[in-house]
Chain A
Amino acid sequence: MSEAAGQAVPAQRGGAGETLRRVLPFAAIFGAGLILPAVSNDYWTLIATRAAIYWILVSGLNLVVGFAGQLAIGWVAMLTLGAYTTSVLALGNVLPPVPVFAAFAAAALVGATFGLIVGLPALRLRTFYFAMTTLGFATIVTQVALAWQSVTGGGIGVPGPVLPEPLDTTLGFYLFCLALAAFCTWMTANVAHSRFGRSLVATRDAEVAAEASGISKPRLLGPVFLFSGAIAGIAGGLFATLQSYITPEAFTFDLSVLFFIAILIGGRGSILGPLIATVVLTWLPEFAAPLVVWSTFLYATLLLVIVLAVPGGIAALLDFKNRRPLESSRAILPRPELLPEILGRRPASGGGITLRDVVLSFGGVRAIDGLDLTIEPGQVHGLIGPNGSGKTTTLNVICGFNTPEAGGATLDGAPLRPGTPQTRAPSGIARTFQTPRLIGEASVLQNVMVGGAIRGQGTFLESLLSLPRHHADEAMLREDALLALRTVGLEPLAEVRADRLQHSELRFMEIARTLMLRPRFLLLDEPAAGLSADEIRRLGALIRAISRQGTGVLLVEHHADLIFEICDRVTVLNLGRVLAAGTPAEIRVHQEVVSAYLGA
């Protein structure tokens, strides 16, 4: 995350110095690229052209692999498709020849289509499965290219397209590729610094938190696969132009490995890292002849070393800012008085969340056995009970992660559909998790901004091209996130990587994230676990203040003191059934509760 998405500081706000610091490495690389032809020969220009073309593909794939964390190891298939589409259309051996730029557009279209087709199984398949399907697809594409002789020329191949003047010279073509590479870098950086980029990383590192924040994976990944496929298709056309002649042999699995490994060596969630890695990996085999033979072995070794020793890749090595030590004696000082600014702007709330006769078992064990529960707006509802009594499961039923066998949850009388956790956030239901779900490599501010992802107005395309609505969204989300952080008392840590925070700070960060939704209902899963007495007191005050703004809070907790201090109502669960329900005062004296649970 470090230098790219890690700093979601929009240019207009981050100050000229910050922007410069971020842009400088890219400017240096592309500047060096511009000078290269003047100080070397056509050979190095060719290698640089190759690196630029590979980067065009890798920059798009980076969103899939580096940001969304989808292990697409067979992306060379898109290069193949793009190369053949461009070449065949420009040559005119099937249809009448089309102008070369139209052929490139067609390649982008074909790449986008297949990017989507190959990418969509990612919604259903787990990591290794997805990796295997992309690998299988890459094999099939090559085989079809071989067999479909009338179109692809089979093993003889087809000549690559020839660009019009002045792009048909070594230098002209190189500068064209370099400009496209810079353009792609800019586009992917825009996405990285948008709510889409953050959401992608969130689905990668904290999928359930992303769903609870209302991020819909299909709607998020769809445009990414389209975009990534499209620019891979264009890269394919450029590759065919560079090779001047393409045969299926040119599209080796080694090439696919290069693309994939460049991203991981560069660092997931970074743009600069993969760019450096792409250039280095393209150049490495040219550096010394023996490396040609051992190049793939070398790439693999590099990958292993990176995974085991530097999981953050080059980007982590370059991330100097987050090596500075943090202040060790820091306190979380929430400012509940700011809550009206956040929650006061909501539309007036209606009814409550109601659970009726919910039954749910896990492998024969009844986790919930006929539960009734109502969460009223503006109240704090405590849910206590021994381990395994069904507290978190209740929460998961409300959030749609668990599907009950009987009964169900309603909001304002309308049923909350089970199995659709991403629909809860738009209904104003937010939650935290027993184990905080965070994006470790992203800044605290970023993590909080993820919570407001669904409030953005701009589309993926607008972010890609950095259009006004993208900037408006970014400014709004950033402002709100800072306000939320100020409210929970974490503002000084806004720019720190989230995985450097203490456990208690992460609990407050999760609350800040939920505040981004301006929730009507807030479900907190053991927020006081691991907090000091002081922190628990401040947390209590914060929760209480949130409820006073009209938000209904469901508080799952073990700390009886906290429950009795801030709750308006308390429900005690035992073995999935309601043991007792009432005001804290009633529960405190409830015979069974006292003997079975409170032990006092």
Chain B
Amino acid sequence: MKVTRRALSLGGAGLAATASGVARPAIAQSEPIRVGWLAALTGPSSAPAIGFDRGVRHAVDAINAAGGVRGRKIELLVRDTQGDPTKAVNAAQEMISRARVHAIWGPTNSGESLATTPIMARAKMPDIHPCFVDSLIDPAKYPNAFRLAPSNSQIDDAVSDYGVQVMKLKRFAVIGDTTGYGTTTVASSSAAFAKRGADVVYKATVDATQPDVTPDMLRMRNAGAEAVAVWSVSPGLISRLMNTRADMGWDVPFIGHPTMGAGEVGRLIAKPENWRKTYILGFKNCSYGPDGKLPAHVQEFVDRTRGKIELNDTILWWVLCGVDAIDLIARAVQEAGSTDATAIIRYWNTVNNYPGLYASYSWSPDNHNGLPQTDLVMSEANTQRLGAYKLAPGYA
């Protein structure tokens, strides 16, 4: 590290590049593995990153306590991006050029990731992220970028499959908030319902700060919706929708975004029963079966870390995904025997059915979407316990 810094200040960027190319193998054996973590830890929609962060720190500590990877410790470099794409671009470039990390985990929201992905691709920086937007993953354009989470089309498929095939409903209203995520997902989700032969009878975006959603709900009812697909990350809007649904005495199910199951929603709704008949996207590994247990290896992890990782105020899959991300980076260095970017990416391209905590991932040179569709399930929104949910009705 010191050597590169000096080369930098003495000889400028050109020399530094050669220096790192030539001199690195000599010091690589003892140098820590630097992992950049671009997290929206503060600002609006910081909840997921806070959850991921707990898993990330747990995993780093666990690996380092066990002696590191091939004798090398993991050094975590965190930068708070506040969910702002501008700050994320700055942070990504800092990780690449100044901190000279070996791999990056994040950013955690799509708006940021859309901006940082081309920059990381240019630097050939190994990157895993949990962002949903489909176009973020393109092995031809971004051979360095890998996804740990479902893509939007996977989510749309899962939710519309549940509505059409499991609930056997025909007429859907699709609404979202006026954020980038909301507007986009309303369009893609509507298309997914239509593809399955269902009618999208109402489609709109609602400003998350709108104090009263009665007009919107009335229009949905008038349009004859049998279920409402809700795409918003705003607990305020979601709770208003739920309260209004109860006030109108309209017994319509809500299906859609996991935020509908967030603890904030529970505190914002007027009555606990307003939370019923709400089914959110969930994950097989993070759902309680009929026996009230998680899958064995996940249950074992949760039991083992009880008291060490706070799960009461977060979502389990965020924490598990954070653990998996660090494990996958560590595993790549372990298997590839080096922190060389191409070696890490080469290893990731061979990952097949890797048994992570959050899901079992498979990547290949032409598929960087790691999550199998079968891992996506629906859960009951009001059943959260330690960040995990009960499976929604209809699953055997």
A–B interface present (Cβ within 8 A): yes
A50 to B93, CA, bound (A): 12
Tell me how far the C-beta of A57 lies from the nearest C-beta in chain B, rounded to whole angstroms: 13
Given A243-B115, A245-B115, the answer on whether A155 and B183 have CB atoms closer than 8 Å is yes
Given A37-B13, A155-B181, A289-B79, the answer on whether A245 and B84 have CB atoms closer than 8 Å is no
Tell me how far the C-beta of A290 lies from the nearest C-beta in chain B, rounded to whole angstroms: 9
Tell me how far the C-beta of A34 lies from the nearest C-beta in chain B, rounded to whole angstroms: 13
Chain B 110-138 interface 0/1 with A at a Cβ cutoff of 8 Å (1 = within)? 11001101110000000000000101000
Instruction: Verify if B350 is at the interface (C-beta below 8 Å from A).
Output: no
**What B residues does A159 contact at CB under 8 A?**
118
Instruction: Verify if A98 is at the interface (C-beta below 8 Å from B).
Output: no
A248 to B81, CA, bound (A): 16
- Identity of the chain A residue whose Cβ is nearest the Cβ of B98 in the assembled complex: A43
Instruction: Verify if B12 is at the interface (C-beta below 8 Å from A).
Output: yes
Instruction: Verify if A47 is at the interface (C-beta below 8 Å from B).
Output: yes
Query: Which of chain A's residues 524-582 have a Cβ closer than 8 Å to chain B?
Result: none
A247 near B13 with CB under 8 A, answer no
**What A residues does B181 contact at CB under 8 A?**
155
B114 near A146 with CB under 8 A, answer no
A507 to B117, CA, bound (A): 64
Which of these, B84, B96, B119, B185, contacts A249 with CB under 8 Å?
B84
Instruction: Pick the most buried of B79, B97, B117: most chain A CB atoms within 10 A of its CB.
Output: B97
B111 near A38 with CB under 8 A, answer no
Instruction: Verify if B9 is at the interface (C-beta below 8 Å from A).
Output: yes
B187 near A245 with CB under 8 A, answer no
A243 near B89 with CB under 8 A, answer yes
B93 near A42 with CB under 8 A, answer yes
Tell me how far the C-beta of B61 lies from the nearest C-beta in chain A, rounded to whole angstroms: 20
A157 near B114 with CB under 8 A, answer yes
**What A residues does B9 contact at CB under 8 A?**
39
Chain A 291-323 interface 0/1 with B at a Cβ cutoff of 8 Å (1 = within)? 011000000000000000000000000000000
A244 near B87 with CB under 8 A, answer no
A155 near B12 with CB under 8 A, answer no
**What A residues does B340 contact at CB under 8 A?**
none
B80 near A156 with CB under 8 A, answer no
Band of interface residues on A: 35 or more
Instruction: Verify if A286 is at the interface (C-beta below 8 Å from B).
Output: yes
A250 near B86 with CB under 8 A, answer yes
Chain A 267-287 interface 0/1 with B at a Cβ cutoff of 8 Å (1 = within)? 000000000000000000110
Given A43-B94, A46-B89, the answer on whether A156 and B115 have CB atoms closer than 8 Å is no
- Identity of the chain A residue whose Cβ is nearest the Cβ of B134 in the assembled complex: A156
Given A154-B183, A244-B118, A245-B117, the answer on whether A40 and B84 have CB atoms closer than 8 Å is no
Tell me how far the C-beta of A245 lies from the nearest C-beta in chain B, rounded to whole angstroms: 4
A41 to B9, CA, bound (A): 10
Query: Which of chain A's residues 15-45 have a Cβ closer than 8 Å to chain B?
Result: 37-44
A146 to B187, CA, bound (A): 12
A472 to B43, CA, bound (A): 54
Task: Name A residues whose Cβ lies closer than 8 Å to a Cβ of B.
Answer: 37-44, 46-47, 50, 143, 146-147, 149, 154-157, 159, 242-250, 252, 254-255, 285-286, 289, 292-293
Other than the given A44-B97, A46-B93, A293-B42, 6 more pairs (CB < 8 A) read: A38-B12, A43-B97, A155-B182, A156-B133, A247-B85, A292-B79
Between-chain CB contacts (< 8 Å), 26 pairs: A37-B13, A38-B12, A39-B9, A39-B12, A41-B8, A41-B97, A42-B13, A43-B98, A44-B97, A46-B93, A50-B90, A146-B179, A147-B183, A147-B205, A155-B111, A155-B180, A157-B180, A242-B89, A243-B85, A244-B119, A247-B115, A254-B84, A292-B42, A292-B87, A293-B80, A293-B82
